[in-house]
Amino acid sequence: MKSKLFVALLLLPLLSLGWGQTGHRVVGEIADRHMSPEARAKVLEILAGESPAMASNWMDFIKSNHDYDHMKKWHYVTIPDSIDYHEADTPHGGDAYLTILRIIEEIESGEFHGWTEAEALKSLIHLVGDLHQPLHVGNGEDRGGNDVRVKWFGEPSNLHRVWDSEMIDGQQLSYTEYTNWVDVATQDQISKWQSDDIQIWMEESKAMRESVYDIEDPERLGYQYNYDHIAELNDRLLRAGIRLAGILNELYG
Ligand SMILES: [Zn+2]
């Protein structure tokens, strides 16, 4: 029985989706708590009553439907170590950065191309989160850490998944409990973060890589790695939620 379970775990698909469900919901929930009443009412209306937290994973849920295959490369950007975004090649069909810009433009103009406003808005909520996951600003060498095999508390995983979901799920908190834990920004931080250009979000994620990839023994990732990184992971979720609220307040407030 035990060996069967082990084999099943080995066969789990190792290519991950962006922050896991809880991470994306935390970003949506933080944004919800920092939106103006006008913006919140408008967003809720467009989402037909679904909260930003619960709408945040739509972009991952549709990945099994091939009608949406063109959206797969919108979840990340690639910036090799030695260059900046503008020197890097943008994939044909776009990336996370260009897609966020396009969605903002479509919402401002009220003209939506190939999707509804609700779908565009759900994607915006998701992608602001993705760009804050340091491994969604990939180095172009290992599919955002998906190819970096590790053992997380003895179970096969990979570095991307550790950042998407392993550390977050390991806290064993609901997304609202997690939000209560990390939603502690000062007014100064909120003003600063909401005025940062999207390129700064990407630079921050890229700058984290050195520490993210600093792994002593890939076979034994667990308490120490979590201890070293959970505060900066939580900071990424917080910044993403605060910045998302800033954008939604501007668009719908
Ligand atoms: Zn994603």
pLDDT above 70 coverage of the chain, percent: 93
Ligand 1: centre distance to CA 162 (Å): 15
Assess if residue 193 is contained within a domain. Answer: yes
Tell me which residues have their CB within 5 A of the ion that is ligand 1: 18, 75, 130
User: Is 140 within the bounds of a domain?
Assistant: yes
Domain count, the chain: 1
Tens of pLDDT, residues 9-53: 444 444 456 799 999 999 999 999 999 999 999 999 999 999 999
Q: Is residue 160 part of a domain?
A: yes
C-alpha 18 – ligand 1 centre gap (Å)? 4
Q: What is the CATH number of the domain that holds 122?
A: 1.10.575.10
* Ligand 1 centroid to residue 210 C-alpha, Å: 22
- Taking the centre of ligand 1 as the mean of its atom positions, its distance from the CA of residue 130, in whole angstroms, is 5
Q: Which domain holds residue 39?
A: 15-252
Percent of the chain whose pLDDT exceeds 90: 90
Residue 2 lies in a domain: no
55 alpha carbon – ligand 1 mean position (Å): 13
DSSP string for the chain: -HHHHHHHHHHS-----SS-HHHHHHHHHHHHHTS-HHHHHHHHHHTTT--HHHHTTHHHHGGGSGGGGGGGGGG-EE--TTS-GGGSPPPTT--HHHHHHHHHHHHHHT--SSS-HHHHHHHHHHHHHHHHSGGGEE-SSSTTTTT-EEEETTEEEEHHHIIIIIHHHTT---HHHHHHHH----HHHHHHHHHS-HHHHHHHHHHTHHHHT--S-GGGBSHHHHHHHHHHHHHHHHHHHHHHHHHHHHHH-
**If you measure from the C-alpha of residue 95 to the centroid of ligand 1, how many angstroms do you get, rounded to a whole number?**
11
For residue range 119-134, what is the model confidence (pLDDT) as tens digits? 999 999 999 999 999 9
**pLDDT band with cut points at 50, 70 and 90 for residue 6:** very low
The verdict on residue 1 lying in a domain is no
pLDDT tens-place string over residues 82-138: 999 999 988 888 999 999 999 999 999 999 999 999 999 999 999 999 999 999 999
